[in-house]
Amino acid sequence: MSALPYLAAGWMLLVGVHGLVTSRNAVHAVGCLTVVQSGTYVLLLAVGYRRGGTAPYFTDIPAGTPVVDPVAQALTLTDVVVGAALTALLLALVLQTAKRHGTTDPDALTGLRG
Amino acid sequence: MTVSPAASLAASELLPLAVACPLTGAALLAVLGRRLPRSGTDALATAWAAGQLGLVWWLAAATGGAGRTVTWVGGWTPVEGRSVGIVLVADGLGLGLAVLVALLVLAALGYAWRYFEEPERARGHGGGFPALLLLFEAGTTGFALTGDLFNAFVFFELMGVAGYALTGYRVEEPRPLQGALAFAVTGSLAGYLALVGVGLLYARTGELAFAGIARELAGQPADALVTTAAALLCCAMLVKAAAVPFHFWLPDAHAEAPTPVCLLLSGVMVELGLYGLLRVYLTVFSGPGGVPHEVMRGTLIAVGTVTALTGALLCWQQRHLKRLLAFSTVGHMGLFLCGAGILDAEATAGTALYVAGHAGVKGALFCLAGVLLDRHASVDEHGLWGRARDMPLVGVLFAVGGCALAGLPPFGTGLGKSVVEHAAHEDPWLVALFVLVPAVTAGAVLRAAARVFGGAGTKPRERHSGAETTGAGEEPEVSGPRREVPRPMLVVPAVLLAGALAVGLVPALWRYVAAGSVVFQDPAGYGAAVTGVPGGGGTGTAPLPEVAWSLPGVLFGLLSTALAAGCAAGALWGPALRGRLARTARAGADALDRTVVLAVRRQHSGHVGDYVAWLLAGLAALTAVFALWG
């Protein structure tokens, strides 16, 4: 198992977080959060990967065929669902923010301080 | 309490209903809410929440404080200790939290009975609010009862998503949206960090159940991977628990969320973060292959102390009443972290009672702030000076809530505080923290009560200076010029205060919590109960901690209350005092304000990017502590 997928997952996490910290646009920030989340997909799939394994779909393969870990795939799928719900909600909030404040720049949203 | 085998079998079979019931209710309300009239929706939601309360109450009684109810969902029971199934594990404290959640959801629904007037009906979203509340209830209950790390993540996100939506529920207002956005971004980032931790642990152990991971980890010394996973999971839970420096989202969200939602967010959601942290630490990382006991203890007490002091300091500075209460929650969370950080059964029991009492008191105070918002369209302590003199009953309840927040005996807050103080014999300085922090936060509440309801002291300045949120010009959450305060808005806070009083007066509850804490602090017994493979330890071995009022506890409670009253009086009449001593004190306070306080307040910039940067700094510190000290 090569280290590349793990490095890629770590890189995606870091890049996404960097984008979140420096973002000047809330839509962009939500996108960055999605990048962070994609990092978790890559990590989970890498954890469940098995060299030479096929899809864990047992109806048309002979018993004993090596397959990749179905649990990790189930986790990823659940993660995708969670992510879809979150991204939709966040974008809805950003949309309303744009309507009420006329801006999506976090630097201009200063209603809450101290 | 002895539990019959039949009841325990039934409890095991009915346990998944505790999560399924509110989920079904949410779906039903979302569909039927568009057709039913408003009163029908409210009645259905309230009946459903009452049914859920009955269910979890029965589960708690059938399990008993010292018992555990284990359910492998779908019958995927372990074979030789291994299973790929999902497990729910209910013990005394988990079910206790589920009961607390159910009680608060019922209170929030009761308070909201006449609260939001019809606007959502016009938009075709009738039933949306109670549906979201039940969704939140499902997430929190599931989080309290799960025995599976990945499911803990899913429930973490479920209660998070419902919480974000509820915070930004009034989408016509600009400020709630901002609070919800900060809350949602930090909360979901924390969730993904937790998921990375889960992935790493699964890669190492091939297990997802807490007990299974612990068994696999025990075979080898902790290495960088396990330490990183522990730091990631702890960080995520601390974000939910609003520990400094992960707390920035909390005041923004809690101050701007609709009042019935604040009840839930401050009352149980942050406390669930702490519960999750302890649960994961004790069942997964407390063994030989995890994080050593003294490292965790030191970390929690250090973080707790900083959190408590920061919360108290900023609570004192607020003039936005809901923000003041939100920072008071931060301060109390710090105390809970310290109490839980002692990591023994007695301190855990004290913390649990403190949490229960605090939930009642803080809920009541938020409800009363909601009454002010309803009548005066403002929660600004300065702008409301003397304007609520016509509501003496609300004022009295607010003041009683303030005293209860300080830990006045016989409120449950005072009992929890007293038990933790007794358990802190190894760190006696914690007692000072447990007297001081409630005194300062309650002092701020009493100061606000005296100003708003009594017009006490001199009229404060109304202008708005630099780094603060005033709380003036908030939109009232009830539309329409109705001059009577709706009855539920007064009954609910009174009932919540009575509940906080009951926590301090019902010995059966103390025994339940004491037994539950012993079970909670017994990872070996947990592993044996879940996997069916007997291990060391057991519930019968540890002695029950003594949970009752003690003379020092009562005296410290009274001292806190007296200090709170003193703080409030000093703030109200101090500026008018003459003499050298008073002048020196004022000059000292001003200097402190300019140097320390302003610097801390400036960090609360309302900017999501800043909050994320603080979160990362905290995560880095946590990882370093676990890696270097372990």
Of B165, B196, B256, the CB nearest to A13: B196
For residues B612 and B191, give the distance between their C-alpha atoms in angstroms, rounded to a whole number.
13
| Long-range CB pairs of B620-623, under 8 A, 24+ apart, other chains included | B622/B231, B622/B234, B622/B235, B622/B238, B622/B299, B623/B227, B623/B228, B623/B231
Give me the phi and psi of B380, to 5 degrees please: -90, 115
Is the pLDDT reported for residue B540 higher than 70? Answer: no
- B467 to A113: CB separation less than 8 angstroms, yes or no: yes
Is the pLDDT reported for residue B249 higher than 90? Answer: yes
What was the pLDDT predicted at B96?
A: 95
To the nearest whole Å, the CA of A64 is away from the closest chain B CA by 19
Taking the CB of residue A73, how many other CB atoms lie within 10 A of it? Answer: 16
To the nearest whole Å, the CA of A14 is away from the closest chain B CA by 10
Closest-CA residue of A relative to B205 is A47
Q: Output the six-digit token pair for B155.
A: 């429930």
pLDDT bracket for residue B541 (50, 70, 90): low
Contact B102, B46 (CB under 8 A): no
pLDDT bracket for residue B119 (50, 70, 90): low
List CB contacts of B169: < 8 A, sequence separation 6 or more: B129, B132, B176, B257, B258, B261
The distance in angstroms from the start CA to the end CA of chain A is 50
- A113 to B468: CB separation less than 8 angstroms, yes or no: yes
- B189 to A20: CB separation less than 8 angstroms, yes or no: yes
Q: What is the mean pLDDT of residues B361-365?
A: 95
For residues B85 and B77, give the distance between their C-alpha atoms in angstroms, rounded to a whole number.
7
- A112 to B251: CB separation less than 8 angstroms, yes or no: yes
- B189 to A86: CB separation less than 8 angstroms, yes or no: no
Q: Please tell me what DSSP assigns to residue B82.
A: B
Residues of B in contact with A89 (CB under 8 A): 161, 164-165, 184
The angle that helices A26-48 and A70-101 make with each other, rounded to 10 degrees, is: 180
For residues B253 and B165, give the distance between their C-alpha atoms in angstroms, rounded to a whole number.
11
pLDDT bracket for residue B455 (50, 70, 90): confident
- B174 to A17: CB separation less than 8 angstroms, yes or no: no
To the nearest whole Å, the CA of A33 is away from the closest chain B CA by 7
More confident residue, B497 or A99: B497
Of A36, A93, A106, the CB nearest to B607: A106
Q: What is the mean pLDDT of residues B562-571?
A: 93
What was the pLDDT predicted at B1?
A: 45
Q: What is the mean pLDDT of residues B346-361?
A: 96
For residue range B434-444, list pLDDT tens digits in order.
999 999 999 99
Of B84, B189, B199, the CB nearest to A47: B199
Closest CA to B420 of B408, B409, B430, B405: B430
To the nearest whole Å, the CA of B606 is away from the closest chain A CA by 5
CB pairs under 8 A between A and B: 140
Closest CA to B281 of B268, B294, B291: B291
Of B174, B185, B605, the CB nearest to A20: B185
Q: Output the six-digit token pair for B201.
A: 């642990």
CA distances (Å), origin B328, targets B119, B158, B440: 32, 26, 9
Where is B90: in which H helix or E strand? strand B87-91
More confident residue, A14 or B78: A14
Q: What is the CA radius of gyration of chain B?
A: 23
Residues of B in contact with A31 (CB under 8 A): none
Q: What is the mean pLDDT of residues B295-321?
A: 94
To the nearest whole Å, the CA of A62 is away from the closest chain B CA by 22
Q: What is the DSSP string of B311-331?
A: HHHHHHH--BHHHHHHHHHHH
Residues of A in contact with B608 (CB under 8 A): 20, 23, 26, 29, 106
Closest-CA residue of A relative to B611 is A21
Of A26, A86, A112, the CB nearest to B469: A112
pLDDT bracket for residue B401 (50, 70, 90): very high
Give me the phi and psi of B244, to 5 degrees please: -65, 135
For residues A4 and A35, give the distance between their C-alpha atoms in angstroms, rounded to a whole number.
17
Of B161, B601, B612, the CB nearest to A86: B161
Is the pLDDT reported for residue B125 higher than 70? Answer: no
More confident residue, B457 or B233: B233
A12, A18, A45, A82: best to mutate for the B interface, most B CBs within 10 A: A82
Q: What is the mean pLDDT of residues B554-578?
A: 91
Q: What is the mean pLDDT of residues A34-62?
A: 89
Q: What is the mean pLDDT of residues B494-516?
A: 95
For residue range B161-193, list pLDDT tens digits in order.
999 999 988 877 778 888 999 999 999 999 999
- B604 to A37: CB separation less than 8 angstroms, yes or no: no
Size (chain A), residues: 114
What was the pLDDT predicted at B106?
A: 95
For residues B221 and B230, give the distance between their C-alpha atoms in angstroms, rounded to a whole number.
14
- A93 to B256: CB separation less than 8 angstroms, yes or no: no
- A101 to B150: CB separation less than 8 angstroms, yes or no: no
What was the pLDDT predicted at B104?
A: 96
B84, B150, B175, B181: best to mutate for the A interface, most A CBs within 10 A: B181
Closest-CA residue of A relative to B317 is A114
pLDDT bracket for residue A45 (50, 70, 90): very high
Closest-CA residue of B relative to A91 is B181
Residues of B in contact with A82 (CB under 8 A): 154, 157, 161, 191
Closest-CA residue of A relative to B199 is A44
Of A29, A44, A107, the CB nearest to B199: A44
- A90 to B188: CB separation less than 8 angstroms, yes or no: yes
Q: Output the six-digit token pair for B462.
A: 């109304």
Q: What is the mean pLDDT of residues B581-591?
A: 87
Residue B116 exposure: Cα atoms within 13 Å on the Cβ side = 25
To the nearest whole Å, the CA of B236 is away from the closest chain A CA by 14
How does the average pLDDT of chain B come out, rounded? Answer: 89
Helix (H, G, I), strand (E, B) or coil at B72: strand
For residues B547 and B507, give the distance between their C-alpha atoms in angstroms, rounded to a whole number.
9
Is the pLDDT reported for residue B539 higher than 50? Answer: no
Residues of A in contact with B208 (CB under 8 A): 71
To the nearest whole Å, the CA of B180 is away from the closest chain A CA by 8
For residue B93, give the amino acid letter.
L
Residues of A in contact with B602 (CB under 8 A): 114
CA distances (Å), origin B477, targets B296, B460, B481: 43, 26, 12
User: What are the residue ranges of helices labelled H in B377-409?
Assistant: 392-406
For residues B389 and B395, give the distance between their C-alpha atoms in angstroms, rounded to a whole number.
8
To the nearest whole Å, the CA of B51 is away from the closest chain A CA by 28
For residue range B524-538, list pLDDT tens digits in order.
899 888 887 776 544
Closest-CA residue of A relative to B324 is A114
The distance in angstroms from the start CA to the end CA of chain B is 40
Q: What is the DSSP string of B94-149?
A: HHHHHHHHHHHHHHHHHHGGGTS-SHHHHTT-TTHHHHHHHHHHHHHHHHHHB-BH
Contact B424, B342 (CB under 8 A): yes
What was the pLDDT predicted at B574?
A: 83
B76, B196, B615: best to mutate for the A interface, most A CBs within 10 A: B196
Of B84, B164, B178, the CB nearest to A71: B84
For residue B238, give the amino acid letter.
L
CA distances (Å), origin B10, targets B56, B74, B145: 13, 15, 16
What was the pLDDT predicted at B147?
A: 93
What is the ipTM, given to two decimal places?
0.95
What was the pLDDT predicted at A103?
A: 81
- A111 to B612: CB separation less than 8 angstroms, yes or no: no
Taking the CB of residue B597, how many other CB atoms lie within 10 A of it? Answer: 18
Q: What is the maximum span of chain B, computed from C-alpha positions, in angstroms?
A: 79
Q: What is the mean pLDDT of residues B54-79?
A: 90
- A17 to B616: CB separation less than 8 angstroms, yes or no: yes
- Burial of residue B46 (number of CB atoms within 10 Å: 0-12, 13-18, 19+): middle
For residues B173 and B588, give the distance between their C-alpha atoms in angstroms, rounded to a whole number.
40
